[in-house]
Structure 1
Amino acid sequence: MKQRHKFLEHLTLDLNPTLQSKRCGLDFLTLAARQSSKFQFFTFYILFFTFCLSPISVGAVDITQQLHRPLNSSVLRESRDDADSLLRIAQDQYASGYAEKTVESCLRALDTYHAVGDLKAQGITYDLLAKAYVGLSRFKEAEDAFRRRLAIARDTQDFQSQIFALNNISTLLLQQGESKPAGNTVEEALTIARNVQNIEGEGLSLSNLGLVAARSGDYNKAIKLYESALYFRRQTGNAIAEANTLNNLGDAYLGAANYQDTIGAYGAALRIAKTKSDRTNYLRAIDGLVTAHSAVGRYERAFDLLEQRLAIAKESQNLREELKSFESYAQLYEQMGNYPTASNFYERAILLARTLKDDKRELLLVDRLTKMLKR
């Protein structure tokens, strides 16, 4: 079965969000040979989910309260007011899913914030700019923005922002396959969190360290790190962050082919996500449960879950999630040897990919269908 993508957390890079990332997952092949690819498929997803839970995102009133404005002239004050307005607009654009417009507004605001030398305002803007770049899959530019955010946090002795910026940078490094630098960066974040006794930052960093370990294939280490992360995440009372780490834990158990504990972790994430109306974690938990149940031959339960998934996608009019549901149906029927029904779902997924102008997905689905029909 196919799994969703994931990013490291903070942004979590705790990666869905208003901005939909251009996700590119790996396929699940035979159960015996695909444990490694199963985990990789989750990686991009978490990345993005993480970004969207960033506590640095603030509303218009909060921005006005946060930005310090020592101005010496009415001209500077007027320019600064314009920049504050642009930042509020950028946040609204980001919340509405307009990544390109968010970038434009942030860059314009930054011109003024640099001119007046307001570091705090620059930090807030760079954080939002980075998230918009992530939504556009412009990862190098996102990393640069996060590094600028980190530099400002260091200059202002803002330890919490340092922790989050380091986690976000680590996420992007991991997404680019740089596991060792990603791990070192998260370790630095964890050290800062422990030194300043920041429980939220410690839970986040441990969760992301678990992702680094799992990405390296060390699922036992990842499981221990996720369990430690859960201890801190529960202390903060952040249920969505807890659900995200539970999904990570499910990924690690799945990678280790421990299906019983996989189902337990995903099931816990599902319950929390349902209570909190957290559609992102809910769908991700369903995807993990479908894979785990089908791996042990519990096809009826897998189909029940897929029915829920498709209903949610249609209710929210989310064509991309609907496409993923059709694709999962196709793979499950193919796994069972029911090729006619699998073919029908592949064709429906191909039509949606065409509607979404997702050429890569369309080609991949056509290739899978062609190979299946040749059997």
Structure 2
Amino acid sequence: MHCTVRFGYGFVLTALLGMPAAYAQGTLDDQLRQPVNREAINQRRDVADQLFRLGDRQAEQADYQSALRAWRQAVELYYEIGDTASMEQVYGKIGSAYAQLGDYTGAETAVRRQLAIARDNQNFSTQIFAWNTLGTLRLQRGGVESAIQSYEEALNIAYSIQNFEGIGLSLSNLGLLAFAQGEYDAAIEYYELAGNYRIRAGNLVGRANTSNNLGDAYLAQGIQGKAIGAYRLALSYGRDSNDVTSQLHAIDGLTDVYSARRDWNQVRTYLDERIALTSNSDNDWFRLVTYKRLGEFYEATGELTLARDQYERAYELARLLEQTNLEVELFNRLLNF
């Protein structure tokens, strides 16, 4: 199925604000006409590649400020040697690091630069994912209409080159936006179409995420049977791809449905699966949610001593993680025991 999205183009990202100053002073063709010192270029590339990898390692350790310093140096060197393909990649990583730090303005600036370079390089795949990222960043800052434009621009490009992964991602993001606005019927339509394209792209994790989102939309509409089917499909894809996050989302969705039905045997079955996935995890958030859900289960089934024990575990982790709102909620629950 192909759909065409029409809308007014409200902006054009052609200027690379804040890029190395020399970028605005000449084209890549101008640089290529200069005498070439291959040895110097190779040396700069080696240093840039090392900085690129250093930034990756630092980001993996959540040291985003250090990663940003390494990537900024790398992008300057890639610019000097005219390696715009590597610049695309680095600006994408810089955008992600700023987003992790909560600096959505800095993130958007970096992604704009990535997008402008991708346009110059006619790299349509990067354009698709950059537009999707821009949409999400704009949504974080409350720009719903500009987010819609970004997702639709990504979708149009993806359709134009039949990039199934890009189509699925763009449709899924439009579904998330519709869901956030309470437009559940529209969200379901987007998710169902997105799922078909994600199957064609062979992206199991993406398919799991879209199925989970579809389950959430069905559940919001009170369509429990279809919600169960969507969550079970997501859980299957999550298992096949060994993606813990999507498995936990599906398990929590199924737990919510069966709790509403007071089918405690099914709830216990899925909680046991959640315990297996998180008990030995070094992810404190995953374990916190497990303890909280176990507390809710024991409280609902009248096993109050066990409920209190689980809430206390969750409370301690909430304090450790500085999850203030959750800490208050759990403290108030403990007052009832």
Residue range with higher mean Cα deviation, 264-273 or 280-289: 280-289
Separation (CA, whole Å) in 1 of partners of 2:300 and 2:137: 34
Q: Which amino acid aligns with 1:245?
A: T
Shift of 1:343: 3.0
Match of 1:358 in 2: 321
Separation (CA, whole Å) in 2 of partners of 1:337 and 1:137: 42
Q: Which amino acid aligns with 2:280?
A: E
Match of 1:212 in 2: 177
Match of 2:196 in 1: 231
Separation (CA, whole Å) in 1 of partners of 2:247 and 2:166: 24
Q: Which amino acid aligns with 1:302?
A: V
> Which TM-score applies when normalising by structure 2?
0.82
Match of 1:269 in 2: 234
Separation (CA, whole Å) in 2 of partners of 1:353 and 1:92: 28
Match of 2:267 in 1: 302
Separation (CA, whole Å) in 2 of partners of 1:117 and 1:144: 21
> Which TM-score applies when normalising by structure 1?
0.74
Match of 1:316 in 2: 281
Of structures 1 and 2, the larger Rg is shown by: 2
Q: SS in structure 2 opposite 1:72? A: coil
- Following TM superposition, where does structure 1 have runs of at least 4 consecutive aligned residues deviating by more than 6 angstroms? none
Shift of 1:76: 4.2
Separation (CA, whole Å) in 1 of partners of 2:250 and 2:105: 30
Question: Are the structure 2 counterparts of residues 212 and 353 from structure 1 closer, same or farther at C-alpha, using a change threshold of 3 Å?
Answer: same
Separation (CA, whole Å) in 2 of partners of 1:147 and 1:306: 43
Shift of 1:250: 0.9
Q: Is this contact kept in 1: 2:64–2:97, CA < 8 A?
A: yes
Separation (CA, whole Å) in 1 of partners of 2:142 and 2:262: 33
Shift of 1:112: 1.6
Q: SS in structure 2 opposite 1:185? A: helix
Separation (CA, whole Å) in 2 of partners of 1:367 and 1:188: 41
Shift of 1:221: 0.9
Q: Is this contact kept in 1: 2:238–2:246, CA < 8 A?
A: yes
Residue range with higher mean Cα deviation, 107-116 or 329-338: 329-338
Separation (CA, whole Å) in 2 of partners of 1:225 and 1:110: 37
Match of 1:109 in 2: 74
Alignment of 1:1-375 (within 5 A): 72-73=36-37, 74-95=39-60, 97-335=62-300, 340-354=305-319, 357-359=320-322, 361-362=323-324, 364-370=326-332, 373=335
Question: Are the structure 2 counterparts of residues 362 and 310 from structure 1 closer, same or farther at C-alpha, using a change threshold of 3 Å?
Answer: farther
Match of 2:6 in 1: none
Separation (CA, whole Å) in 1 of partners of 2:147 and 2:54: 33
Question: Are the structure 2 counterparts of residues 92 and 347 from structure 1 closer, same or farther at C-alpha, using a change threshold of 3 Å?
Answer: same
Residue range with higher mean Cα deviation, 254-263 or 185-194: 254-263
RMSD: 2.4
Shift of 1:109: 0.8
Question: How many residues get paired?
Answer: 304
Q: Give CA deviations for 1:162-221 in whole Å, capped at 9, x if unaligned.
A: 110011111222233332221121011111111222222111111111111111111111
Q: Which amino acid aligns with 1:369?
A: F
Q: SS in structure 2 opposite 1:315? A: coil
Q: Which amino acid aligns with 2:151?
A: V
Q: SS in structure 2 opposite 1:217? A: coil
User: Bigger relative contact order, structure 1 or 2, given CA contacts below 8 A and separation 6+?
Assistant: 1
Separation (CA, whole Å) in 2 of partners of 1:237 and 1:363: 39
Q: Is this contact kept in 2: 1:86–1:109, CA < 8 A?
A: yes
Q: Give CA deviations for 1:93-142 in whole Å, capped at 9, x if unaligned.
A: 33455434322221221222233343222111011122223333333322
Question: Are the structure 2 counterparts of residues 319 and 121 from structure 1 closer, same or farther at C-alpha, using a change threshold of 3 Å?
Answer: same
Match of 1:19 in 2: none
Residue range with higher mean Cα deviation, 263-272 or 236-245: 236-245
Q: SS in structure 1 opposite 2:118? A: helix
Separation (CA, whole Å) in 2 of partners of 1:178 and 1:327: 34
Separation (CA, whole Å) in 2 of partners of 1:146 and 1:282: 30
Separation (CA, whole Å) in 2 of partners of 1:211 and 1:290: 21
Unaligned runs of 5+ in 1: 1-68
Question: Are the structure 2 counterparts of residues 323 and 187 from structure 1 closer, same or farther at C-alpha, using a change threshold of 3 Å?
Answer: same
Question: Are the structure 2 counterparts of residues 181 and 337 from structure 1 closer, same or farther at C-alpha, using a change threshold of 3 Å?
Answer: farther
Q: Is this contact kept in 1: 2:44–2:81, CA < 8 A?
A: no
Question: Are the structure 2 counterparts of residues 169 and 333 from structure 1 closer, same or farther at C-alpha, using a change threshold of 3 Å?
Answer: farther
Separation (CA, whole Å) in 2 of partners of 1:162 and 1:139: 19
Q: Is this contact kept in 1: 2:318–2:326, CA < 8 A?
A: no
Q: Is this contact kept in 2: 1:113–1:121, CA < 8 A?
A: yes
Q: Is this contact kept in 2: 1:166–1:188, CA < 8 A?
A: yes
